[in-house]
Chain A
């Protein structure tokens, strides 16, 4: 599936426009003008400017100095930290995104079995998803405390002595993955709505044909949900790769840079060391990395994402 096709599927665009009216066109441009101004001032121009800046050395105070590709050379081969940061950010995302999807789907499927108290369970599971930022980061820092924290206290109930989590080079990334699993309810609500929209006659027909539970899940439920899962995957990549607040508050990148996520490093270069040129190069490499990941996912979609032929119903 191509990007344009995806956009079409997601947006329900269709080419039925015939005969534009002049008054309507003028009003339309007037109404979209705030977005156009914002796009030019806060997106298009800054993108070009940051690309240009990435070829300069600039500390804001003195005039920028042209350095050619030096920032990129430094980024890829001199300074070891950017690629390290990118690596752990990707590793974290590779663990966090699939786990959130699997648990979100599993809970949604449990909730979709005609149980009583559906709305109570849904409220409980969804509640952490509305919370984020500094307060949540501080809470989890306390939960992961090795001696007095909740997690290791709970593990001791089962006779397990937990690791130092945020103080451990090995366990710090799993700790972040666990923390992000707390907000699994955000995706769960979406899957639940998707499940409820699958026509029940599909399952009835499958049951008559003798399909067992696994076959129904893998032949009906997952294919029918695949566009939803795909959308969650795409937004998940963009959102998860941008992890910042948690590491800034909980570990400041430590121990020994083992939770130095990419944006933390970018932030330090730009707003603590004021290396605006270098930070712009970092930003562009990050953008291209996310773009590549997204394009790979789009390329994979035609093998597993199932779109019904008629999806333009909302026009």
Chain B
């Protein structure tokens, strides 16, 4: 009896060790590309093409960063990106939550049918609508401005509407009714009760929106032409076209472009993960 207990716990310890080894190895594999990126960004160009390659730079050149970042007006690209991201984020959070409220807390004819239409558009590849959309913005003389990137965000994003609606549905209806009896308007309920109770999901939507528009390349590529309107993604692409094999500079600039996302991730990690869980698992 006792010998069986000991062997069992030995087996458990062994399997624990295997689990930790596998997770540790996986973590190294996951982190190695980032380590490689940092290490390359600090090497002098002559060391970048040394064979066999060094995992850690033997000579650290901090000036790679200022040198690379002043080759192109990255401060301008940064400013453009921040403007676009902020206005997209505001639009998506505000409008999507207004729409989601009507789809979840109000009762009206046609609600479910319209919501199914909204869900169906979530599955639509946006490229089907892209060419006419391009022509619409061209007719409005908005090509090569930020409008084609920002305006669509102010019509509500079906994915965020879906997320917010699912969350709003979990609130109790009695609370709304009590507020209405106390003389609060329906819109007042939305503004004073539903929104303050929904901070986690609002944070998740804001983070997704930030992440998507910060990384977005396809739409800026199609709608922006002048260099002074470039976003960071377009500027990075332009930089790559000009300094194609200067990997130390390329890694330095790419890392700087990623950095805001990584910083936000470390500060708002809980909301990131919670948000992803909202999306996939409801």
Interface residues in B160-183 by Cβ distance below 8 A to A read: 161-162, 165-166, 169-170
Chain B residues, Cβ within 8 Å of A122: 273
Inter-chain contact B124/A43, CB cutoff 8 Å: yes
Bound CA span A304–B27, Å? 32
Bound CA span A147–B50, Å? 10
Bound CA span A43–B108, Å? 24
Inter-chain contact A194/B112, CB cutoff 8 Å: no
Instruction: Give the residue name and chain of the B residue nearest to A24 (CB).
Output: B106
Interface residues in B12-64 by Cβ distance below 8 A to A read: 16, 19-20, 22-23, 26-27, 30-34, 36-37, 40, 48-53, 55
Please tell me if B272 contacts chain A, counting CB pairs below 8 Å. yes
Chain A residues, Cβ within 8 Å of B155: 34-35, 37-39, 41-42
Chain A residues, Cβ within 8 Å of B236: 134-135, 138
Inter-chain contact B240/A249, CB cutoff 8 Å: yes
Give the top 3 A-B pairs by smallest Cβ distance, nearest first. Answer: A38-B155, A190-B280, A133-B215
Please tell me if A251 contacts chain B, counting CB pairs below 8 Å. no
Q: B2-10, B67-75, B114-122: which lies at the A interface? A: B114-122
Inter-chain contact B217/A45, CB cutoff 8 Å: no
Chain B residues, Cβ within 8 Å of A50: 128-129, 131-132
Bound CA span A283–B132, Å? 11
Q: A65-73, A215-223, A238-246: which lies at the B interface? A: A238-246
Chain B residues, Cβ within 8 Å of A60: 135, 138
Please tell me if A29 contacts chain B, counting CB pairs below 8 Å. yes
Inter-chain contact B156/A283, CB cutoff 8 Å: no
Chain B residues, Cβ within 8 Å of A139: 33, 37, 251, 254
Q: A80-88, A124-132, A158-166, A200-208: which lies at the B interface? A: A124-132
Task: Give the A-binding residues of B (Cβ under 8 A).
Answer: 16, 19-20, 22-23, 26-27, 30-34, 36-37, 40, 48-53, 55, 95, 98-99, 101-103, 106-109, 111-112, 114-121, 123-125, 127-136, 138, 152, 154-156, 158, 161-162, 165-166, 169-170, 186-187, 211, 214-218, 221-222, 233, 236-237, 240, 247, 250-251, 254-255, 257-258, 261-262, 265, 269, 272-273, 276-277, 279-282
Bound CA span A132–B131, Å? 24
Instruction: Give the residue name and chain of the A residue nearest to B95 (CB).
Output: A34
Q: Of the candidates A138, A189, A248, A279, which one forms a contact with B276 in the assembled complex, judged by CB atoms under 8 Å apart?
A: A189
Chain B residues, Cβ within 8 Å of A36: 114
Inter-chain contact B280/A280, CB cutoff 8 Å: no
Inter-chain contact A13/B115, CB cutoff 8 Å: yes
13 cross-chain CB contacts under 8 A: A28-B102, A34-B98, A36-B114, A38-B155, A42-B129, A107-B23, A107-B26, A115-B20, A121-B27, A130-B265, A148-B48, A287-B128, A294-B123
Chain B residues, Cβ within 8 Å of A232: 280
Bound CA span A35–B33, Å? 41
Bound CA span A60–B143, Å? 14
Instruction: Identify the interface centre among B109, B121, B128: most chain A CB within 10 Å of its CB.
Output: B128
Instruction: Give the residue name and chain of the A residue nearest to B265 (CB).
Output: A130
Chain A residues, Cβ within 8 Å of B233: 133-135
Inter-chain contact B108/A127, CB cutoff 8 Å: no
Inter-chain contact B102/A130, CB cutoff 8 Å: no
Inter-chain contact A28/B106, CB cutoff 8 Å: yes
Task: Give the B-binding residues of A (Cβ under 8 A).
Answer: 4, 7, 10-13, 15, 17, 19-21, 23-25, 27-29, 31-32, 34-39, 41-43, 45-47, 49-50, 53, 60, 107, 110-111, 113, 115, 121-136, 138-140, 142-143, 145, 147-150, 153-154, 156, 182, 185-187, 189-190, 193-194, 197, 228, 231-232, 234-235, 238, 241-242, 244-245, 248-249, 263, 266-267, 270-271, 276, 279-280, 283-284, 286-287, 290, 294, 314-315
Chain A residues, Cβ within 8 Å of B123: 234, 238, 294
Inter-chain contact B23/A121, CB cutoff 8 Å: yes
Bound CA span A139–B255, Å? 9
Q: Of the candidates A13, A39, A136, A242, which one forms a contact with B112 in the assembled complex, judged by CB atoms under 8 Å apart?
A: A13
Inter-chain contact B152/A38, CB cutoff 8 Å: yes
Known pairs A139-B251, A234-B123; A185 contacts B30 (CB<8 A): yes
Bound CA span A149–B132, Å? 42
**Given A10-B282, A13-B116, A31-B99, 19 new contacts (CB under 8 A):** A7-B116, A10-B119, A29-B108, A32-B114, A34-B155, A38-B156, A39-B155, A43-B121, A46-B128, A47-B132, A50-B128, A110-B22, A115-B19, A124-B30, A128-B30, A134-B217, A193-B277, A267-B222, A287-B124
Query: What's the minimum C-beta distance from A54 to chain B, rounded to whole angstroms?
Result: 9
Chain A residues, Cβ within 8 Å of B254: 134-136, 138-139
Inter-chain contact B108/A279, CB cutoff 8 Å: no
Inter-chain contact A231/B186, CB cutoff 8 Å: no
Chain B residues, Cβ within 8 Å of A235: 280
Q: Of the candidates B36, B130, B258, B276, which one forms a contact with A131 in the assembled complex, judged by CB atoms under 8 Å apart?
A: B258
Instruction: Give the residue name and chain of the B residue nearest to A31 (CB).
Output: B102
Inter-chain contact B218/A244, CB cutoff 8 Å: yes
Bound CA span A128–B262, Å? 9
Instruction: Give the residue name and chain of the B residue nearest to A121 (CB).
Output: B23
Inter-chain contact A276/B169, CB cutoff 8 Å: no
Bound CA span A123–B216, Å? 23
